[in-house]
Structure 1
Amino acid sequence: MTTALVAALAPAVSAGLPASIPSPTSGVWHLGPIPIRAYALCILAGIAVAVWLTGRRLRDRGHAVEMAVDISAWAVPFGIVGGRLYHVITTPDPYFGEGGHPLHAFFIWQGGLGIWGAIALGTLGAWIGARRHGVPLMDFADAAVPGVAVAQALGRWGNWFNNELYGRRTDVPWKLEIHCWDQAAGHATTCPGSSSTVLGYFHPTFLYESLFCLVLALVLVLVDRRFRLRRGQLFGLYVAGYPLGRIVVELMRSDEAHRILGQRVNVWTSILVFLLGLAIVWANRDRPVALPDRDAHGAPQAPEPSVTSHHTE
């Protein structure tokens, strides 16, 4: 179905497009002896935007804007560790397989963060930070998820700089030029048996996922404004929504991956996370409304009291 859709769209968008989307031949710059890696810059840019947007949305929920920074100081490190753990566990060969380098499991700057692990441990970090600062976890989670989706969109451009996580070979007008890559050095290298650095042309799955995440962020914001959701339900919608796009991207990927029953591990993970998201939406159906009503001056009024619990999450 995905292949047929791409084939149908290709003629409609071919006019006026370049022959292909170029990829960088270097993903690292040196400031004297200090390497500046594009992958890290994309991740940092995503974090900065997410924290800024979360602060604005926390204010709408009656909390201080500064809480976004205070709680993110816990959520972000936990998320990075969780993302790396998930990547290493599901892709162990480069680190523990034949010819692997175990110490490279700590080289986060070379790429490799699994969003599933990042969200799982990031949520744990947010829970710790939220408890320390007296903010209900679900208030923070609902405020954060649109920014998290934007951060994912920006982070995917780090994969573009690293010439990684592309799809199958293709000749569509928006095909992505991929170079043979020296991961440790962070730049293109000559392909084996060739005088060129160009490996071939592939589906730009990084771009597909980046655009999907931006659309997801917009949908979450609009749903939050349009409907009187309960605390935690927007978080659940994000958890259920992201896998819908990720499954499509995973089915287009061509890189080696561990499989279960013939499918990539991330496809099965996406299905389980989608079901988890639906469960979160359902489980929070009796919580207080997420966004408090506002008075005549636009200030948030006291939120509706909970009918199930009175403790701080």
Structure 2
Amino acid sequence: MSFSPLWALFVLLGIALALWMTSIQWRSRGGHKGDLWAITVITVPAAVIGGRLDHLIASPGEYFGPDGDPIRAFALWDGGFGFWGALILGVLAAWALTRFQGVKLLPFLDSVAPGLILGQVAGAWGDWIDQRLTLTTVIAESVWNLIGCILLIVIAKRLRFGHGQVFALYLCFFALGRVWLEALRIGAPAAEDARMVVGLPLNVWSAIIALLIGMIWLVASRARHRTPETGVYLREARTLQRRRGRGKHDFEPVGVAPAASGDTRAGAHTDPVGGSVDGSVSVPSGEGVDENGMHSFGFFGAVTSAISIVPDVRGRSREDGRPPSAD
């Protein structure tokens, strides 16, 4: 069964909703929305590839069996994507990009989680348009995912979730919904084509594994961390250096105290709130960074920006009143 243009339209709508919500959550944690667009350029194609690989692994006979056609493995328009493969490869791509940019992965994943479950609402309606799911299933899945999106945002704020705990809760909520929603898929084309393992669809086993991973992750993380991270960037993050080099703003670690009396060297700090323990930099929204999140990729270059400038402490006068020496 091939994908219809309407299905593709709903998928694009789902991606747009996910990016919109992720942008809100990321900026609320002190990040630049420019980070999101830079990472999305890589993670979205990676998720598409991962979803296709998931389908090929789950249904190899259609492409690599005696009567299969290996060339059809590249025919994305013919349909066949797996959610868990898309999630795994997308997360791996995000890990690589955040590591390169100097962005902390866990707070980024926490920002992505509400957007992911919101975007899946549009994706479910796309499957209904292509007659892959029944209307009852789509309505139930949409309501479940909308409730999940709201709960992730509220719980994360009330309980001060961080360190990947929001993403772990997303795994639990989405996987739990996937288990009982599979019962509603009976009679739909998606259920008829499902691969069975020990009497249950493969999707159910995948959801059970994801549920266990999410529960263990959440419990272990809450045992260690009761408050969110103090910053979302690592020290000397490339993404902030790039903006400074392009004149977007002057970056200096915010919320970081000098290491010793009169020591105002960049990066010298002992304040644990500023992130001296793990080498991170706390950059609250609107302090030390471009408040509108302008980025060198130019995605929002046409939007008027309000830029917050933080003076370089090395340019200040010394404590004894004399100007700084030439060296």
Q: Normalising TM by the smaller chain, what interval?
A: 0.5 to 0.7
Shift of 1:89: 1.4
1:69 counterpart residue number: 37
TM-score (normalised: structure 1) = 0.68
> Which amino acid is 2:164 matched to?
G
Greater CA drift, 69-78 or 267-276: 69-78
> Which amino acid is 2:149 matched to?
A
2:189 corresponds to 1:257: no
Question: Distance between the aligned counterparts of 1:143 and 1:60, measured in 2?
Answer: 9
- Asked whether the equivalents of residues 289 and 304 of structure 1 are also in contact (C-alpha less than 8 Å), the reply is no
Question: Distance between the aligned counterparts of 1:51 and 1:262, measured in 2?
Answer: 37
Question: Distance between the aligned counterparts of 1:308 and 1:257, measured in 2?
Answer: 49
2:37 corresponds to 1:105: no
**Structure in which a larger fraction of residues adopt strand:** 1
- Asked whether the equivalents of residues 156 and 162 of structure 2 are also in contact (C-alpha less than 8 Å), the reply is no
Shift of 1:123: 0.5
Give unpaired runs (5+ residues) of structure 2. 187-191, 232-253, 257-271, 282-327
Greater CA drift, 97-106 or 131-140: 97-106
Structure 1 residues 244 and 301: alpha-carbon distance in aligned structure 2, compared to 1, 3 A threshold:
farther
Question: Distance between the aligned counterparts of 1:237 and 1:222, measured in 2?
Answer: 12
1:55-77: CA deviation from partner (whole Å, max 9, x where unpaired): 12111111111111111222211
Q: How does 1:106-125 map to 2 (within 5 A)?
A: 106-125=74-93
Out of 286, 289, 298, the position equivalent to 2:227 is: 289
2:212 counterpart residue number: 275
1:266 counterpart residue number: 203
2:151 corresponds to 1:223: no
> Which amino acid is 1:85 matched to?
L
Give the number of equivalent residue pairs.
237
Structure 1 residues 138 and 304: alpha-carbon distance in aligned structure 2, compared to 1, 3 A threshold:
farther
- Asked whether the equivalents of residues 230 and 274 of structure 2 are also in contact (C-alpha less than 8 Å), the reply is no
Percent identity between the two aligned chains? 36
Greater CA drift, 90-99 or 67-76: 90-99
Out of 150, 154, 178, the position equivalent to 1:246 is: 178
3-state SS of the aligned residue for 2:33? coil
2:139 counterpart residue number: 207
1:175-210: CA deviation from partner (whole Å, max 9, x where unpaired): x4xxxxxxxxxxxxxxxxxxxxxxxxxxx3233223
2:117 counterpart residue number: 149
Out of 45, 48, 51, the position equivalent to 1:80 is: 48
Shift of 1:78: 1.3
3-state SS of the aligned residue for 2:87? helix
Structure 1 residues 306 and 137: alpha-carbon distance in aligned structure 2, compared to 1, 3 A threshold:
same
- Asked whether the equivalents of residues 274 and 280 of structure 2 are also in contact (C-alpha less than 8 Å), the reply is no
Question: Distance between the aligned counterparts of 2:63 and 2:276, measured in 1?
Answer: 50
Shift of 1:102: 3.0
Greater CA drift, 91-100 or 227-236: 91-100
Question: Distance between the aligned counterparts of 1:307 and 1:93, measured in 2?
Answer: 54
Structure 1 residues 265 and 70: alpha-carbon distance in aligned structure 2, compared to 1, 3 A threshold:
same
Moved over 6 A (4+): 300-303, 305-308
1:69-117: CA deviation from partner (whole Å, max 9, x where unpaired): 1112222111111111112211334434465443332232333221111
Q: Which has the larger radius of gyration?
A: 2
2:127 corresponds to 1:159: yes
Shift of 1:308: 7.9
> Which amino acid is 1:205 matched to?
T
2:55 corresponds to 1:55: no
Question: Distance between the aligned counterparts of 2:3 and 2:56, measured in 1?
Answer: 21
2:25 corresponds to 1:40: no
TM-score (normalised: structure 2) = 0.65
> Which amino acid is 1:266 matched to?
N
Give unpaired runs (5+ residues) of structure 1. 1-25, 29-36, 167-175, 177-203, 294-299
> Which amino acid is 2:172 matched to?
A
